[in-house]
Amino acid sequence: MKRSAADNVGLAVMVAIAAFSLLALVGPSLVVIGISFTERQYISFPPVGFTLEWYAAIFENQQLIDAAKTSLVLAASVMATCLALGMPAAFSITRGRYGGRQTLSAFLLAPQMMPGMVIGIAMLFFGSFFAFRQSLLMMILGLTVFCLPFVVRMLMARLALIDPALEEASLNLGASRSQTLKRVTLPQLLPGTLAAAAFAFIEAFDNLTVVLFTASPRTRPLSVELYQLVQFDSSPLVAAISALEIGLAFLIVLVLSRTVGLSRLGD
Amino acid sequence: MTDMTGSDSGGAPRARTRGDPGPIGGSLMSAVPALAFLGALFVVPLGFLLSFAFLTIERGDIVSGLPTLRHFFETLTDDLFWIVAWRSFWVGVVSTILCVVFAYPVAWVYSELKGAWRPIVLVLVVAPLLTSAVVRTYAWIVILGGRYGLINSLLIDLGLIGRPLRILNTDIAVIIGMVQIHLPFMILPLISVLDGRDRAREEASLALGASRIVTFFRVTLPLSVPGIAAGASLVFALSYTNFIIPQLLGGGNYTTLALQVYEFIIVILDWTEGAVRATLLLLSCFAIVLLINKLGAWYTRWLEAGR
């Protein structure tokens, strides 16, 4: 099929906008990484010289170190809780033979329609009634509500792909149900589990919308600390922290693409 | 939820026989922990949030026990509320439209690409989702901000402008931030619609002599409306309820409904007013998302009927 001149213009416009969009998606992160090495005391582009002083400044700042530790504990706890609750639930909905599974699934996935802010505020108000104050625990509970639907959905999608014949074969050959679960089912579910775990971890680590309402002033995670810094600190310190976060995210994408396959990430 | 738990043994017997306990993990019991968790820590707290809008609360204590609609009435008759609500809606709509414009070509090009380019495009789209919103918003402060920001340095060095432009702390900065940060949420549903599409209709159109452009506008674009609707409802909901971007890129006095909710609850500590506005934000958001989905469904049905 021959292309007319107008077709070629149309194609060029499409490709140009697509290229611009992709550049706009990653460009800003590259700019931030560039800025983090500048020798100036304020943000300026292009960066001047090369220094690791801003990275050193992160590790000399006890408040930031504590915040990073809080974030790691928070993210790990949310990830563990989401998997502990989400994995059995995903099994139940995908494989159950009882009635009302649609309703049940809709209920479990419902929180994903809620903005994080609403979940955070609801948790804050709820806690105030029982003298349950803003704390690490409140952040963990709020973020688990926030992440659980995504974890359940990712696990359900993966579970639906597993061929039941393999399990039946295992059972017929005399393996017990728990042996079959451990040796046959769970290994097949591993890629989905890794992706869901990574999602919950990253979301809990980065989240601001739930955490701004549930963090106590004394145990602030890195995201809240960073939010304050962005508003009140104009030095390239924020760029260095951001660059480290971008690096961490990139590392996780790399590991996931090797183990899970990228096409699954879009689910 | 209690009756669901109660139907565990009652609702299931049709498929279960004594010797067959069903597929592994398929019992209702395994869903109970997650159900109980969400019941206690999502449904009940949400009830608290909604009920607080009808009570008078000062510094965490209920002042008057009687529920009242007074707070809703006061908010809805406040002109300032409507100005802020309109701005939130406007920011949401403009961001959504721009997201469609910038996302569609990416998804379309992805669907036409072959081989090694595809994973590269997918990485570029997914990777930003894994970086925090604060970091990505901060990047725009670096690019748009002040005399030494990327844009102003570039334009001044090129001699195009004499004084730095004021972009940060305006509507434009907020919209730019919203579009860039929410773009992947538009690209991914469009990719899933466009990449798996049946090309028979396009080929038929081309074989009948229509040009590629006409084929695109008459065949491809209409068929991808469900993807546009899915992405648009997601992007609208995210933009409409985002308070971080207006806070950081809009400057101190740029207010949206979502930002007001945050300020009432965390800064001013007026929980009643915060609850009222959060409820109104949520209801209006659901209404608009529902409308977008309905429009998408109507269009698709109309298209099918016309063929």
**Could you tell me if residue B68 is inside a domain?**
no
**Per-residue b or e along A159-196, where b marks 16 or more CB atoms closer than 10 Å to that residue's CB:** beebeeeebeebeeeebeeeebbeebbeeebebbbebb
How confident is the model at residue A1, as a pLDDT?
53
Number of independent structural domains in chain A: 1
- How many structural domains are present in chain B? 1
Listed range (A195-209, B5-19, B262-276) with the worst mean pLDDT: B5-19
CB proximity A49 to B under 8 Å? no
In a domain, B180, yes or no: yes
List the 19-38 stretch of B: residues with Cβ below 8 A of A: 21-31, 33-35, 37-38
CATH number of the domain within which A221 lies: 1.10.3720.10
Name chain B contacts of A206, Cβ cutoff 8 Å: 131-134
The answer to whether residue A37 is domain-embedded is no
Mean pLDDT of B159-183: 87
Task: Write down the pLDDT at residue B13.
Answer: 39
User: B58 with B142: CB under 8 angstroms?
Assistant: no
- pLDDT at site A5: 84
In a domain, B47, yes or no: no
Most A-contacting residue of B44, B55, B142 (CB-CB within 10 A), to test interface:
B142
pLDDT mean over A62-89: 95
| CA B141 to centroid of chain Cα atoms | 22
Nearest residue on chain A to B16, judged by CA atoms?
A97
Digit-coded pLDDT (tens) for B79-138? 889 999 999 999 999 999 999 999 999 999 999 998 888 888 988 898 888 888 888 898
Which CATH number is B291's domain given? 1.10.3720.10
Please tell me which of the candidates A4, A21, A98 has its beta carbon nearest to residue B12: A98
Query: Is B40 a member of any domain?
Result: no
How many CB pairs lie under 8 A apart between chains A and B? 301
A168 φ/ψ angles, rounded to the nearest 5 degrees: -60, -40
Residues 103 to 162 of B: which have CB under 8 A from any A CB? 103, 105-106, 108-109, 119, 121-128, 130-143, 145-146, 148-150, 153-154
What's the pTM?
A: 0.88
Task: Answer whether residue B54 is part of any domain.
Answer: no
CB contact under 8 A, B138 and A212: no
The whole-chain average pLDDT of chain B stands at 85
Q: How many other CB atoms sit within 10 Å of the CB of residue B218?
A: 14
Is residue A29 one of the residues assigned to a domain?
A: no
Please write the tens of the pLDDT for every residue from B199-244: 888 889 899 988 888 899 988 999 899 999 999 999 999 999 999 9
**Which range, of A4-18, A144-158, B157-171, B182-196, averages the lowest pLDDT?**
B157-171
Mean pLDDT of B247-271: 89
Ramachandran area for residue A61 (φ above 0: left; ψ -120 to 50: alpha; else beta): beta
Do the beta carbons of residue A227 and residue A155 sit within 8 Å? no
Task: Please give the span between the terminal C-alpha atoms of chain B, in angstroms, as a whole number.
Answer: 45
pLDDT digits (tens, 9 = 90+) for A211-266: 999 999 888 999 999 999 888 877 888 889 989 988 888 888 778 777 766 555 44
**Rounded distance between C-alpha atoms, residue B307 and residue B288, angstroms:** 29
How crowded is residue B237: how many other Cβ atoms within 10 Å of its Cβ? 23
* Nearest residue to B61 via CA among A125, A134, A137: A125
Among B130, B260, B268, which would you mutate to test the A interface (most chain A Cβ atoms within 10 Å of its Cβ)? B130
B298: in domain: yes
* Contacting B residues, span 153-192, partner chain A, CB-CB under 8 Å: 153-154, 180, 183-184, 187-188, 191-192
Domain that includes residue B297, residue range: 79-306
B39 falls within a domain: no
Chain A 174-233, residues with CB within 8 Å of chain B CB atoms: 177, 180-181, 185, 202, 205-209, 212-213, 223, 226-227, 230-231
Residues of A with Cβ-Cβ distance to B10 under 8 angstroms: none
Domain that holds residue A223: 54-266
Domain assignment present for residue A244? The answer is yes
Please report whether residue A235 resides in a domain: yes
| Residue B278 · residue B243 · CB < 8 Å | no
First to last CA, chain A: 35
| Amino acid letter, residue B207 | A
Q: Which residues of A touch B26 (CB under 8 A)?
A: 91-92, 94-97
- CB distance B153–A46 less than 8 Å? yes
